[in-house]
């Protein structure tokens, strides 16, 4: 398959691995921010192929995983608004809030629908003009522009029953939060390829500038990731941190201006509640004042109880911050599995725990 097979070539992978092994003289740890990278790294078995000096750790880049229990409880409450249809992406229906999940709400009668795109949710609104259709918008800068576009489309067509509950999050502030906390010693960041396609590689300049941290923006194929690791090893060895782009076929320095323009026309930056981190200022996207009539949380003020305590023993928060690896959690595989997920990292395919579970390297 064109543009896929070229980036999975075993001979080239071997050469990159030799290159990494030759250059790497001291232990380094790189964090892949993005859950898509975590998934790919496990799927292709890359961790076991790297030399022992190079460690990869997973970051908070799974949009489902970082959705807070409170936000999920609110989504479940919104699904209970009379006649409402709540539409969202697939994994969200399985994530446990503090009192159940959307799929459990659905089995008790709530109309919860899985869509593949925000435009599908808009279509549901067109087809059900008498019912409020609430789109639970999750995701990072990659998905937020499409949600913004749907809001603008709803405005243009005057589809008055389409609402958005935005729990969108921004990636650079979370990366800052990890580095500021200093809980995990990192030698470099594997930049999220899809997010950076939107925000542009320049958005990561603060990493070398403020933290002396190398960053390489990576694609999602094995050779993309290995090349990224090779570049990070090189910068770490030479002590010359910079932002470099190993995903040139998608990412530009300035990003996708059109997408950003649409995104900021509809949303503005605000505080967001991250699972594992708590509230991080300026790390979320909230609907602008002129779109409050689309804001599900304003139009349908639902009562939610304070969140129940986090499940005892669950270390999702630390997994999301890269402090521990999933097998270090006492619940992993014993109590917590994709069938009975205790924490969100076990639910989404992009979650570190699920990746470990699903693609566990042979032991």
Partner 1 sequence: MKGEPQTILLAHGSGGQLSHELVERVFVRHFDSSILAELNDAAIVEFGGFNFHVPGSTNLQPETDNLKLAFTTDSYVIQPLFFPGGDIGKLAVCGTVNDLAVAGAEPRYLSAGFIIEEGLLLETLERVVVSMAETARAAGVQIVTGDTKVVNHGAADGLFINTAGVGVVPPGVHLSPSNLRPGDLILINGTIGDHGMAVMMQREGMEFGSSLVSDCAPLNGLIADLLAACPGAVHCMRDPTRGGLVTTLNEWATAAGAGIEIEETAIPVREEVRAACEVLGLDPLYVANEGKVIVAVAPQVAEEALAALQAHPLGREAALIGQVTDEHPGRVVLHTPLGARRVVEMLVGAQLPRIC
Binding site for partner 1 (CB under 8 A): 1, 4, 8, 10, 13-14, 34-36, 39, 42-46, 48-49, 63-64, 89-91, 94, 96, 99-100, 103-104, 106-108, 114, 116, 120, 138-140, 142-143, 194-195, 222, 337-339, 348-350, 357-362
Task: Tell me the CA distances in angstroms from 12 to 7, 51, 92, 114, one per residue in order.
Answer: 9, 16, 37, 39
Q: How far is the CB of 262 from partner 1 (least distance, A)?
A: 17
- Name which of 38 and 57 has its Cβ closer to partner 1: 38
C-alpha to C-alpha distance for 166 and 351, rounded to whole angstroms: 20
- Name which of 267 and 300 has its Cβ closer to partner 1: 267
Q: How far is the CB of 209 from partner 1 (least distance, A)?
A: 26
- Name which of 35 and 317 has its Cβ closer to partner 1: 35
C-alpha to C-alpha distance for 347 and 135, rounded to whole angstroms: 20
- Name which of 165 and 357 has its Cβ closer to partner 1: 357
Q: How far is the CB of 280 from partner 1 (least distance, A)?
A: 18
How long a stretch of residues is the chain?
A: 363
Mapping DSSP to helix (H, G, I), strand (E, B) and coil, where does residue 217 land? Answer: strand
241: exposed, middle or buried (Cβ count in 10 Å: 0-12, 13-18, 19+): buried
Give me 25's structure tokens: 């003289």
Stretch (H or E) spanning 86? strand 85-88
Q: State whether the Cα torsion 70-76-82-87 is positive or negative.
A: positive
Query: DSSP secondary structure string, 170-194?
Result: -HHHHHHHHHHHT-S--SEEEE-HH
Mapping DSSP to helix (H, G, I), strand (E, B) and coil, where does residue 110 land? Answer: coil
- Name which of 25 and 127 has its Cβ closer to partner 1: 127
Q: How far is the CB of 135 from partner 1 (least distance, A)?
A: 13
Would you say 184 and 321 are in contact if contact means Cβ atoms under 8 Å apart? yes
Q: How far is the CB of 55 from partner 1 (least distance, A)?
A: 16
Q: How far is the CB of 293 from partner 1 (least distance, A)?
A: 26
- Name which of 120 and 234 has its Cβ closer to partner 1: 120
Q: How far is the CB of 7 from partner 1 (least distance, A)?
A: 11
- Name which of 49 and 152 has its Cβ closer to partner 1: 49
- Name which of 211 and 359 has its Cβ closer to partner 1: 359
Give me the phi and psi of 286, to 5 degrees please: -115, 150
In sequence order, the 6+-apart residues with CB closer than 8 A to the CB of 70 are 97, 98, 273, 304, 307
Among residues 60, 33, 32, the alpha carbon closest in space to that of 46 is found at 32
Q: How far is the CB of 250 from partner 1 (least distance, A)?
A: 14
């Amino acid at each position: 398959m064109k543009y896929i097979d070229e980036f999975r070539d075993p001979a080239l992978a071997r050469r990159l691995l030799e290159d990494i092994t030759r250059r790497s003289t001291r232990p380094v740890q790189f964090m892949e921010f993005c859950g898509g990278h975590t998934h790919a790294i496990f799927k292709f078995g890359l961790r076991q192929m790297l030399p022992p000096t190079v460690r990869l750790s997973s970051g908070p880049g799974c949009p489902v995983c970082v959705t807070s229990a409170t936000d999920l409880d609110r989504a479940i409450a919104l699904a209970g608004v009379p006649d409402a249809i709540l539409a969202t992406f697939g994994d969200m229906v399985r994530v446990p809030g503090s009192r159940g999940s959307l799929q459990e709400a659905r089995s008790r009668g709530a109309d919860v629908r899985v869509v593949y795109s925000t435009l599908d949710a808009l279509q549901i609104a067109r087809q059900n003009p008498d019912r409020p259709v609430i789109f639970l918008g999750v995701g990072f800068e990659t998905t937020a522009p499409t949600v913004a576009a749907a809001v603008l489309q709803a405005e243009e067509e005057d589809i008055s029953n389409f609402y958005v509950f935005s729990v969108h999050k921004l990636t650079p502030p979370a990366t800052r939060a990890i580095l500021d906390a200093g809980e995990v010693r990192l030698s470099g960041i594997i930049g999220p390829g899809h997010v950076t396609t939107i925000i542009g590689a320049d958005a990561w300049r603060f990493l070398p500038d403020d933290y002396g941290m190398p960053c390489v923006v990576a694609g999602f194929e094995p050779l993309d990731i290995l090349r990224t690791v090779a570049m990070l090893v090189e910068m770490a060895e030479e002590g010359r941190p910079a932002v470099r782009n190993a995903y040139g076929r998608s990412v530009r320095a300035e990003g996708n201006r059109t997408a950003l323009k649409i995104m900021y026309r509809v949303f503005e930056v605000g505080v967001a509640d991250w699972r594992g981190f708590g509230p991080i200022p300026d790390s979320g996207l909230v609907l602008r004042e002129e779109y409050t009539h689309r804001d599900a949380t304003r139009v349908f003020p639902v009562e939610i109880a304070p969140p129940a305590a986090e499940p005892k023993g669950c270390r999702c928060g630390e997994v999301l911050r890269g402090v521990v690896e999933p097998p270090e959690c006492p619940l992993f595989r014993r109590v917590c599995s994709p069938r009975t997920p205790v924490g969100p990292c076990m639910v989404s395919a992009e979650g570190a725990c699920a990746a470990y579970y699903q693609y566990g390297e042979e032991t």
